[in-house]
Amino acid sequence: MESAEFTFLNTTGASGLSKPILKQMRAHVTKTNFAKRRQRIGSTPTSQSRRKLNRKSNTDLAIPRAPSPYGDKNSLLRLQQFVYLEGRHAPETPSEAAWFDLIASDPALVEASMAVAVQQWSPDISWQCRAHDHIDKAVSLIKERITSTTSRTDGILGAIITMALGAALANDKFAWNIHINGLTHIIRDRESRLPNSLPAWFVDFVVRDSINSIFDFPRTWHPTVLNALSGYRDRRVSKLAALCDDVAHLRAVIDSHHEHAFDTELVAREIEVPLDRLHHEARALRTSNDLHLDAAARAAELVLHLLWPSRSGAYLTLLAGELRDVMDRFPIKGCPYMHMTCFQFMIGAISADKGSPARTWFMERLSSAVRWMQVRGWPEPLKLLQERFLSDNGLNGRFRELWRELSNPEVVPEIQSSVSGP
């Protein structure tokens, strides 16, 4: 298929596309919109069940307007509350303060953040229509910047990676690939003009997604993006990518063993030997100088232990506790939607013994997002993940058990605040 650089999912500027690409894009948009409408009609709870979940209907909530950039601090605080769900008013670290200042300074990043937040806030049609408006505005602003000299700014990087996250959460692979393609081109263009100039938060964002790649649910992790980042963090990003690829391959081999029962010689050659090597490589990637790489390395080590158990529950609980300590020091807090779809949190939760402080920490962050979405009318917040793991074998079964537990209202902590728009 003909490729077009910096093409994003809307019809602005469509006249510059070839007829085959334009036809495919329009067909995708039409098909996606009708599919999502049918899904909303079929999955949205009835009025009676909605009242059981939440005394205040989502249709009564005010949909906030996007904050105006350049100094509108009150509007930015409303956006923070809207994105973080629990009524958070201010950043907790200098890095978070710098991130929110960046959002406030760039209209494209504001619109991208609003697009994701509104789309995930409620399944009601009014919210979904508003989300599409924000998506169109974000895409239009990004395309305007692409054709100007300001296309390589940190704000544009943030806007496109946010759009990619939103597409992953919406399970829109077509849009996700387009955003990833545009992101890759912008990284390479920027690096060709000013090498090693990407902000730390951007690399952290990608590294944070590494464990997701093992389980085939990348939100921003993609080979072309990783190739563009190959020289970063003393080439440790490239080493992490190779490690995750090998762990994913080993996971497939172990799943095959569970299905076909390999003989002893084959188990030793295809599982135990590479397993030892990968344990060594994961430990070698630990570093006190980079929290996100350190967390990814520890999470990968836990994945290996869970795939082929050889250690006691106490050891895994200890390692999960170390992972918690590292993640708790991340300079920028992820939004609840990132927590709920983050396999690092899930690995920590299923590795630690029930009742342990480590498991409680992971479960609180996962369950909070699930409960917030449930009380706003999303009947199955974890459906996107559950549909990817159909068997109860091995680690797949551990994930499915975790998601069942998170979906149980009696297990998930209650949300004390009333659900309302900011």
* Residue 376 banded pLDDT, cuts 50, 70, 90: confident
Which run of H or of E encompasses 320? helix 313-327
Distance CA(73)–CA(104), nearest Å, equals: 8
The model's pLDDT over 157-208, given as tens digits with 9 standing for 90+, comes to 999 999 999 999 999 999 999 999 999 999 998 998 888 899 999 999 999 9
CA distance 231 to 248: 23
Strand, coil or helix: 9 = coil
Q: Is 263 within 8 Å of 281 (Cβ atoms)? A: no
Q: 201 in helix, strand or coil?
A: helix
Helix (H, G, I), strand (E, B) or coil at 150: coil
Q: For 349-359, b where at least 16 C-beta lie within 10 A, e where not — what string? A: bbbbeeebebb
Tens digit of each residue's pLDDT (9 = 90 or more) over 39-87: 544 444 443 433 433 433 343 344 455 555 444 566 666 677 677 666 5
Q: How far is CA 242 from CA 157, 210, 367, in A?
A: 24, 10, 31
Which string of DSSP letters, residue by residue, matches 229-243?
TTTSTTTHHHHHHHH
Q: For residues 244 and 359, give the distance between their C-alpha atoms in angstroms, rounded to a whole number.
A: 24
Question: Domain coordinates of the chain in residue numbers?
Answer: 14-214, 236-407
Higher pLDDT, 14 or 209: 209
**pTM of the predicted model as reported, rounded to 2 decimal places:** 0.81
Percentage of the chain exceeding pLDDT 90:
55
Tokens of 291: 């929290």
